[in-house]
């Protein structure tokens, strides 16, 4: 039996744990529902407190009315006593005197009760007003906190968007473009280097060198012929002079 109770207790605690986690999930995902539930609970408490305050106010008003009536009765009795004495109605005077004493004691008791009732009623009304203020504050807090939550969620979305468009991605893209351009330039350099080392390229170089060498030889021959012609003309002129 004890073992069964222990198992039941553990299952109950486990269920409470799951329920607590579930409530925490609701609180984080639906804060407006939690605030509204808290507000409605306080409104219910306010209604119950208002009924209690109305009971105290009713008691105060009842005591006030009774005190006013007893005070009025006492004044009438006090006014009747001298008349009874003057009329020689001793028995009536005695009854009135006893009634006066009773009314005096009752009035004293009513006054004490009224003081207490008035104090309780005032305290209850103050509590009621404070409770009403707390409800209004909670409503304002709900609006403020929900707006704050919405703003925070909006900022998170903006941050996520900025992270998705981070400069790292742009830099990586530029590096990729630069690398591809360098590769194309390297391919061009390789083509040039291979072209310079090919047989056709070498033949072209030799042909160019040959052409240049032949032209130089012709140029030297022309220079020598011109020099010889000039020397011959100079020698002929010298012979004529002699």
Using CA of residue 134, residue 136, residue 142, residue 144, what is the dihedral sign?
negative
Minimum mean pLDDT among 81-85, 104-108, 208-212: which range? 208-212
pLDDT of residue 71: 92
Residue 75: band (very low, low, confident or very high) from pLDDT cuts 50, 70, 90 = very high
Residue 174, judged by CB atoms within 10 A of its CB (0-12, 13-18, 19+), counts as: exposed
Q: Average pLDDT over the chain, rounded to whole?
A: 76
Distance CA 193, CA 148 (A): 68
The model's pLDDT over 98-155, given as tens digits with 9 standing for 90+, comes to 999 999 999 999 999 999 988 888 888 888 888 888 888 888 888 888 888 888 877 8
Residue 1: band (very low, low, confident or very high) from pLDDT cuts 50, 70, 90 = very low
Residue 236: band (very low, low, confident or very high) from pLDDT cuts 50, 70, 90 = low
Distance of CA 112 to the CA centre of its chain: 55
Which tokens hold the place of 228?
């010889």
pTM higher than the cut 0.85? no
Angle, vertex CA 28, rays to CA 22 and CA 29, nearest 5: 85
Q: Kindly report the backbone phi and psi dihedral angles of residue 113, in degrees, each rounded to the nearest multiple of 5, phi listed first.
A: -65, -35
The model's pLDDT over 9-21, given as tens digits with 9 standing for 90+, comes to 655 555 454 444 4
Contact 142, 35 (CB under 8 A): yes
pLDDT of residue 18: 42
pLDDT of residue 130: 86
């Amino acid at each position: 039996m004890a073992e069964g109770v222990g198992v039941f207790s553990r299952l109950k605690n486990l269920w409470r744990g799951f329920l607590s986690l579930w409530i925490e999930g609701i609180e984080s995902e639906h804060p407006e529902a939690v605030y509204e539930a808290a507000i409605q609970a306080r409104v219910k408490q306010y209604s119950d407190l208002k009924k209690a305050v109305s009971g105290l106010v009713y008691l105060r008003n009842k005591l006030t009315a009774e005190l006013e009536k007893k005070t009025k009765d006492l004044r009438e009795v006090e006014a009747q006593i001298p008349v009874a004495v003057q009329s020689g109605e001793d028995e009536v005077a005695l009854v009135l005197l006893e009634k006066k004493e009773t009314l005096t004691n009752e009035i004293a008791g009513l006054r004490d009760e009224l003081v207490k009732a008035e104090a309780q009623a005032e305290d209850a009304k103050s509590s009621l007003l404070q409770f009403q203020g707390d409800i209004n504050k909670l409503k304002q807090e709900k609006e403020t906190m929900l707006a704050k939550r919405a703003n925070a969620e909006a900022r998170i979305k903006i941050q996520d968007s900025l992270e998705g468009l981070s400069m790292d991605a742009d830099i990586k893209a530029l590096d990729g473009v630069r690398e591809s351009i360098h590769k194309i330039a390297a391919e061009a350099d390789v083509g040039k280097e291979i072209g310079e080392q090919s047989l056709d390229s070498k033949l072209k170089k030799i042909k160019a060198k040959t052409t240049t060498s032949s032209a130089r030889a012709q140029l030297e021959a022309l220079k020598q012929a011109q020099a010889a012609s000039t020397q011959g003309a100079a020698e002929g002129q010298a012979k004529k002079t002699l």
